[in-house]
Amino acid sequence: MGMHARIDAAIEAAIATGQGRTAPARLSSALHYACTPGGARIRPTILMSVAMACGDDQPKLSDAAAAALELIHCASLVHDDLPCFDDADLRRGKPSVHRAFSQPLAVLAGDSLIIQSFGILAAAAPAAPDRALGLIEILSRQTGMPHGICAGQGWESESDIDLSAYHLSKTGALFIAATQMGAVAAGQEAEPWFELGARIGEAFQVADDLRDALCDEAELGKPAGQDDLHGRPNAVAQLGLNGAVSRLNDILSGAIASIPACPGEAQLAQMVRMYAEKLVPAEVLAKARA
């Protein structure tokens, strides 16, 4: 099974842990709807790539970690799309969960997916309890308060924003979770993998700003120009289009340089390069140069 099929299978299995014949049917459907069809599955792909670069000696734990991370990411998208946040009608080219189901079911689907993330990590523990607990601790730290993605969203309710804390928690946190959880699932220490995750997160933020500025709604699968519309701080406004593109390249070089020594170091560098092309496709970059 290739890596993507493996990740998809793990995600499907993780969603199914929240479903069942004796569960409320609409909420069961909303769980699946919220997580499929996947986007690029970037976070679990990074996680799995790191786990494989470190030997992947407990594949069930890597699977659970990848699925847990994607479920909680999807949960955050469902809640971010709610009318009280982005009020987004579309996500990945189809109606957002609260539009397709209802606001109560969107709140509950997000809550359930968060909870399932931790449940599947605990259920995958028997082979390696200490690693499972490490994964739960990282996932909690990078998603909750004071420094996870909840904190990132929370900064948007402050009149005085700490910009570096905002970006690190809003976008960086789940990439830090990806690299650290991949390492821990394979029995390595988390700490040396912080920088790779943080730099990929930074790259993602700049790339997202570029796409938001350069793509239309059909290309994005969600409304375009949202940063400008909501007056959000962004790299294109700060550095201009070309400045943002060079910043992106600098960050990616730094990311590759930060990869800790491990058996699969070279493949991992290759993965970051391929991933950079996915982040901002050549035809979008061409618009920046135009």
Can you give the binding site for its own copies, defined by CB under 8 A?
Answer: 18-20, 22-28, 31, 75, 79, 82, 84-85, 101-105, 107-108, 110-112, 114-116, 118-119, 121-123, 125, 129-130, 132-133, 136-137, 139-141, 143-148, 150-151, 153-158, 162, 165
Rounded distance between C-alpha atoms, residue 75 and residue 25, angstroms:
18
CB of 36 to its own copies, least distance (A): 16
- Retrieve residue 71's tokens: 């479920």
Contacts 24+ apart (CB under 8 A), 270-279: 271/45, 271/46, 271/49, 272/200, 275/42, 275/45, 275/46, 275/200, 276/203, 276/248, 276/252, 278/40, 278/42, 279/203, 279/204, 279/207, 279/248
Complex with its own copies: residue 79 or 222, whichever CB lies closer: 79
Complex with its own copies: residue 162 or 219, whichever CB lies closer: 162
Question: Contact, 139 vs 72, CB < 8 A?
Answer: yes
Question: Contact, 68 vs 114, CB < 8 A?
Answer: no
CB of 35 to its own copies, least distance (A): 13
Complex with its own copies: residue 140 or 239, whichever CB lies closer: 140
Which residues partner with 95 through β-bridges?
A: 90
Complex with its own copies: residue 27 or 239, whichever CB lies closer: 27
Cβ neighbours of residue 106 closer than 8 Å, sequence gap 6 or more: 30, 78, 79, 81, 82, 96, 97, 98
CB of 177 to its own copies, least distance (A): 12
- Retrieve residue 243's tokens: 């400045």
Complex with its own copies: residue 18 or 264, whichever CB lies closer: 18
Phi, psi of 95 (to 5 degrees): -55, 140
CB of 203 to its own copies, least distance (A): 23
CB of 282 to its own copies, least distance (A): 37
Complex with its own copies: residue 137 or 195, whichever CB lies closer: 137
Q: Can you tell me which residue has the tokens 């982040």?
A: 279
Cα 168 to chain center, whole Å?
Answer: 13
CB of 23 to its own copies, least distance (A): 3
Complex with its own copies: residue 133 or 237, whichever CB lies closer: 133
The secondary structure of the chain in percent helix, strand, coil, rounded to multiples of 5, reads: 70, 0, 25
Question: Contact, 270 vs 240, CB < 8 A?
Answer: no
CB of 250 to its own copies, least distance (A): 25
Complex with its own copies: residue 40 or 145, whichever CB lies closer: 145
CB of 219 to its own copies, least distance (A): 28
